[in-house]
Structure 1
């Protein structure tokens, strides 16, 4: 629809192109960011701007939508809920709503129906894992995009840790898709209510009618509360899954994890869905539930070309289609966490919609994920350094097991790169041309921030971890590098940490538990440190250390202090000290960790030092001058209110020195959310969603400089030879002078990606003079840092 007379030309600095739709609460416009990304902007009708109850609702919607941005949900790009005319911008993708699809094409069946069911169950699972209850799941709030279904509109959603609005006694929702408890006590609904709504939606998709449809909303509401659902027209295999979800008692319904496992287990005759290629698969014998699984390691792999590897989890060899090269211009949360705090899916793309909740009577952390780089790469990336032999600009996309687009993270090692994430346990690429030598895929759905662990062991490293001969000697008979990544299971079961040889053969795997993101602020369920892999056992009771290059047997195991839960933290893989962040079990259960304790963790035997009590939401972000740097998150109810303080912990004295963040004039400042705060090049760096970077002296909390990179949703930086590199999910890369913050250059975008990963870790590494970046869609690319791509 064209813009109409009276429509604004811009909203929040975003030029508008056309209308996408309108409703009782507002209008949605199509717009573009400065980098050319399409966004959908939801502008609230002016008459509601002065309605404090509605403004509070909209504020909750924005906050909830930011928390749940994922592969099957709406990704928030920008918003201003406090402005005179409130608005919210999300990433845009074309597609009809489920309501429109059923109206025009009739009920769904077979693979199309299964794909919808699995996608929505995955979306709901991850909405709940971050503590949000949607409360308005209905056909008009599901968009059928080319990549799968998207859940939109969190206008009446509720966060588990936020006070529910009274809403002046009104029952908000859409009766045919509401749960009995939502109709009777709307303030008290939990995730079980969304499970009920999902079941009604699937019945509608399969039959064209809801299980409680009646002639009036009054009668429909009565039938939801008192009558049995009408399911005779639902396919038998699907009915067996949805019927328990429609139980009147919320406690009798399955969880979203259980529901997803049941949907994934539907007969193959009912399945088309997401295609899983030959290079994917599950481990022999199914998911590992407890002990380490050893797969025999084998001899050191060759580095000169593709390798043929026979193993229970297939290693895919070089793809038929090679990387694109040339000179054209190129543009956990911990896995053991409860449903409400498990990590959200990555690669979010969605279209926003106008909030249509009506009264009953109406018709969205240096490169810590790849623990070897850790944000600082001395001696690489500068114009004086050489390029890899035979280098030419390149770009590849490494398909994951589910084929769901996400992001990867990479580590340079000799002439190659090792990358992981996006449904990929690990892949090996040639740094010179991006040629893929092997790939080991993960069978499950990619998880936000759970990309890659790292590379350790003997061999030549470029800007990553360089282990000593003594370290290499402890890695077992095979002294070659060990590649460590994550495997996400297909359905229920714990994620696993997987150790591979440089040739892609699996050495061992072990299940993961723990609360890493809740306790440390980082999706770092496995920590690489001096050849060991540290993790929490699946039961969430102890920290374990395994030698990465050995057989994966537990080298030491240290129980948590009584009544607590802990997560290990390493400032970098070669750090002299290890730490554990702990909190009481009650705080972890309530998802309100405001009084954590910090302990030294002995890397030799796992002994825990005396607790240092912290007051507030403190997150470790690196080391400076031998001291651990932490930043404090401020919350205003449900809403993140910015980082406002920095602290230094001196492990020699056990003392903590705290400083408020202050601007150049000495005034207190609060830095908005964005990438993972990171200590590199001797300073603490905050990167806001807008692409603005703040360099802070960690010893005083004083802002040294602030600059706009022009890279939206930029990741944490990596530093090399006095230059900071930032990357976005769209493939834009910016280089800033680390000392003064002067922008040296920025590249154009190269892929269409929303890039809304919260707390994004570094997307850029350097190998000699080559700059290697990762972007949305499992894209990895390389270019000459001395001749970066230009607009044109």
Structure 2
């Protein structure tokens, strides 16, 4: 094959025939940073390969930024992006190969066919919201979401081009000469304080992208990038031509202040449609849906007489099975919502605990996130932290955190309740008896927060970590963790250490660092083979899921013992998609998005059992000595026999009146003192006994 021609001159006039082992076949497009080619692997797999322009290949700082792009793209699930197959940031001409995704960019689609129809817009917004949730939850901020970086694939939109601004796309630069984005799709804070840009900037960009998709122009339009910048910071957006049912949500996305914008989870809930990866889009027959004022009519299955597509049939069957499962569970338990145990019901003879259902925040959107501590059930929901009496669900106190977004259930550490703030202006420790603040301190912009051993671990935007005493709010230490550029800590009950991981640039190994939270000192550090995700610890060993770099499916469970530096890999018979997992003792329980639940013994190296639950999506499971528990998108709580892998109980569905609402986050149930506490999309918190799940 002859070298590909290019519109450039000099060194760029002829492009390379190969990038690594990948043969370049044709040019997909050329941008300010490089050229993207259609390529083939040795086995014939079709790929898209980005090859950097020669002028930037000579810049060491740019190479560093390109490495950052590769690392960011690898961290994000391939469900919403073009999965990275291979890369070489150190090549003479740095390159990155991703799976080829057939389909136009949003920019090309609107240019060729004009603005999108309302139903297409709603599906696009739901898909992008879910993509951003997937991107943000691994600590990545895209910073340059725009129509040309959205691919319209058959199974939903894909977000591409991570972390690299295009020098020739705009004249706007920071004072060091580096671009900070593409002006029509940048958030106000990207102009005002570019070093403090967080996930909310991507939400602003999503709003601008949606206006473009709906009208063919942006919410702020001018031939001058400087005028656009002024409009973004000071003017109200022009939403002329945007469908009325989407306009209020897009207005919220385009709020000037980051804290006023919705999260991806909130967007998905309010859109009342399910993103493509959940396989329950809007193919629900109209007679099974409820009319919602101001909402679009529900889509119906094809009546055209044409054979429906395989995807349509699959989605329709998935919905019918989900509905059938809900009806079956209600019938099995002897009724619908009325069958739920209420506070005051007669206790069962076997347990002496009647169970209860509470609705502590009546107008709450989505499920509460709860944990158990100080003899109370401590929850966060809709801008409120509250405590419930675990015996009967009575409300003990409420505390407003309306100006903050909480990413995890509150924790009780250092004798105080600690709200886990994802975005907000202050940290505080609350008295578990009254809910009153015992200390408060300003909260800097941060990437993540975790708490263990009485210490709050804050990872700041520059990658440094601050240890905050949970009992006083005082700073105990502030430092960088060697080998971990932006640590995202996890911790596990009964383990005094905090852990963070970092995937290598080639995706073939993972660096694991264990940190003492009281001092920030590294207790041990190891580089292990594979793309690994921490899921638990026990007896001095650490457990991981090993994922496939190409598709992100879980292929194995890995047990690593740092004292002996030994590891054991337990391969699964079949790779599992979108796995949520937990460890109890030496056993790891894995729940896939398809409903497949596996139990793996990390000592014997065997899979103990498998159960097909028919659940389309579940929470991270939890376990005690007898059962494994998890919740589902319709509010059911499941119990599975931990020894035999049999379903032994489930509660009725708790969707409430808004049965079409998407539940973006699925909080795990809480196990304490022989009871299970769980939350549901209808806003309720409920408790059942763990001893007799068959009687739920």
Alignment of structure 1 residues 338-417 onto 2, 5 Å:
347=269, 350-351=272-273, 352=281, 386-387=351-352, 391-398=354-361, 403-411=364-372, 413-414=374-375, 416-417=376-377
State the SS of the aligned residue for 1:652: coil
1:623, distance to aligned residue in structure 2 (A): 1.6
Map of 2:492 onto structure 1:
571
- 1:410 touches 1:418 (CA, 8 Å); kept in 2? yes
Map of 1:634 onto structure 2:
548
Separation (CA, whole Å) in 2 of partners of 1:708 and 1:152: 30
Separation (CA, whole Å) in 1 of partners of 2:266 and 2:489: 21
Separation (CA, whole Å) in 1 of partners of 2:184 and 2:518: 56
1:157-182 C-alpha deviation (Å, 9 max, x unpaired):
4333699xxxxxxxxxxxxxx9999x
1:632, distance to aligned residue in structure 2 (A): 1.3
Which of residues 537, 545, 550 in structure 2 aligns to 1:623? 537
Separation (CA, whole Å) in 1 of partners of 2:488 and 2:209: 40
Separation (CA, whole Å) in 2 of partners of 1:503 and 1:561: 40
Cα distance change of structure 1 residues 162 and 210 upon mapping to structure 2, 3 Å threshold: closer
Map of 2:579 onto structure 1:
674
Q: Does structure 1 residue 661 correspond to structure 2 residue 677?
A: no
Q: Does structure 1 residue 429 correspond to structure 2 residue 429?
A: no
1:428, distance to aligned residue in structure 2 (A): 0.5
1:754, distance to aligned residue in structure 2 (A): 6.1
Map of 2:80 onto structure 1:
64
TM-score (norm 1): 0.48
- 1:127 touches 1:134 (CA, 8 Å); kept in 2? no
Q: Does structure 1 residue 742 correspond to structure 2 residue 646?
A: yes
Q: Does structure 1 residue 542 correspond to structure 2 residue 464?
A: yes
1:12-62 C-alpha deviation (Å, 9 max, x unpaired):
xxxxxxxxxxxxxxxxxxxxxxxxxxxxxxxxxxxxxxxx99xxxxxx999
Separation (CA, whole Å) in 1 of partners of 2:479 and 2:627: 40
Separation (CA, whole Å) in 1 of partners of 2:582 and 2:651: 22
- 1:346 touches 1:446 (CA, 8 Å); kept in 2? no
Map of 1:528 onto structure 2:
452
Relative contact order: is structure 1 or structure 2 higher (C-alpha 8 Å, sep ≥ 6)?
A: 1
Which of residues 143, 147, 151 in structure 2 aligns to 1:135? 147
Q: Does structure 1 residue 774 correspond to structure 2 residue 673?
A: no
Separation (CA, whole Å) in 2 of partners of 1:785 and 1:539: 42
Separation (CA, whole Å) in 2 of partners of 1:433 and 1:152: 50
Cα distance change of structure 1 residues 440 and 604 upon mapping to structure 2, 3 Å threshold: closer
Separation (CA, whole Å) in 1 of partners of 2:416 and 2:466: 18
Separation (CA, whole Å) in 1 of partners of 2:421 and 2:568: 38
Which of residues 592, 600, 604 in structure 2 aligns to 1:696? 600
1:381-413 C-alpha deviation (Å, 9 max, x unpaired):
x9998546xx5532325268xx54344223264
- 2:212 touches 2:218 (CA, 8 Å); kept in 1? no
1:453-496 C-alpha deviation (Å, 9 max, x unpaired):
4224xxxxxxxxxxxxxxxxxx5xxxxx411222354xxx5684
Separation (CA, whole Å) in 2 of partners of 1:515 and 1:264: 15
1:733, distance to aligned residue in structure 2 (A): 1.6
In structure 1, the gaps of 5 or more residues are 1-51, 54-59, 68-96, 102-117, 139-150, 164-177, 182-190, 214-222, 245-255, 266-272, 275-331, 333-341, 356-381, 457-474, 476-480, 517-524, 664-668
Separation (CA, whole Å) in 2 of partners of 1:753 and 1:504: 34
Map of 1:43 onto structure 2:
none
- 2:130 touches 2:265 (CA, 8 Å); kept in 1? no
State the SS of the aligned residue for 1:614: strand
State the SS of the aligned residue for 2:272: coil
Separation (CA, whole Å) in 1 of partners of 2:209 and 2:516: 53
Alignment of structure 1 residues 284-303 onto 2, 5 Å:
none
Q: Does structure 1 residue 561 correspond to structure 2 residue 482?
A: yes
Cα distance change of structure 1 residues 601 and 384 upon mapping to structure 2, 3 Å threshold: farther
Cα distance change of structure 1 residues 656 and 264 upon mapping to structure 2, 3 Å threshold: closer
Separation (CA, whole Å) in 1 of partners of 2:421 and 2:428: 6
- 1:200 touches 1:210 (CA, 8 Å); kept in 2? no
Cα distance change of structure 1 residues 635 and 600 upon mapping to structure 2, 3 Å threshold: closer
Cα distance change of structure 1 residues 701 and 761 upon mapping to structure 2, 3 Å threshold: farther
In structure 2, the gaps of 5 or more residues are 1-44, 47-75, 84-114, 120-124, 165-181, 186-199, 240-250, 274-280, 284-298, 300-346
Which of residues 671, 679, 688 in structure 2 aligns to 1:765? 671
TM-score (norm 2): 0.54
Separation (CA, whole Å) in 1 of partners of 2:470 and 2:604: 38
- 1:748 touches 1:789 (CA, 8 Å); kept in 2? no
Separation (CA, whole Å) in 2 of partners of 1:212 and 1:553: 46
Map of 1:268 onto structure 2:
none
Cα distance change of structure 1 residues 444 and 593 upon mapping to structure 2, 3 Å threshold: farther
- 2:207 touches 2:254 (CA, 8 Å); kept in 1? no
Separation (CA, whole Å) in 2 of partners of 1:557 and 1:227: 43
Which of residues 709, 716, 722 in structure 1 aligns to 2:620? 716
State the SS of the aligned residue for 1:776: coil
State the SS of the aligned residue for 2:237: helix
- 1:412 touches 1:766 (CA, 8 Å); kept in 2? no
Map of 1:643 onto structure 2:
554
Which of residues 683, 691, 695 in structure 1 aligns to 2:587? 683
Separation (CA, whole Å) in 1 of partners of 2:234 and 2:433: 47
1:121, distance to aligned residue in structure 2 (A): 11
Count matched residues: 467
Separation (CA, whole Å) in 1 of partners of 2:365 and 2:632: 19
State the SS of the aligned residue for 2:514: strand
Q: Does structure 1 residue 242 correspond to structure 2 residue 237?
A: yes
1:632-658 C-alpha deviation (Å, 9 max, x unpaired):
12131xx42x111222222323x1413
Alignment of structure 1 residues 79-94 onto 2, 5 Å:
none
Alignment of structure 1 residues 169-568 onto 2, 5 Å:
198-199=207-208, 240-242=235-237, 259-262=254-257, 347=269, 350-351=272-273, 352=281, 386-387=351-352, 391-398=354-361, 403-411=364-372, 413-414=374-375, 416-424=376-384, 426-444=385-403, 446=405, 450-456=407-413, 481-489=415-423, 496=427, 498-509=429-440, 511=443, 525-529=449-453, 532-549=454-471, 551-561=472-482, 564-568=485-489
State the SS of the aligned residue for 1:565: coil
Cα distance change of structure 1 residues 542 and 156 upon mapping to structure 2, 3 Å threshold: closer
Map of 1:14 onto structure 2:
none
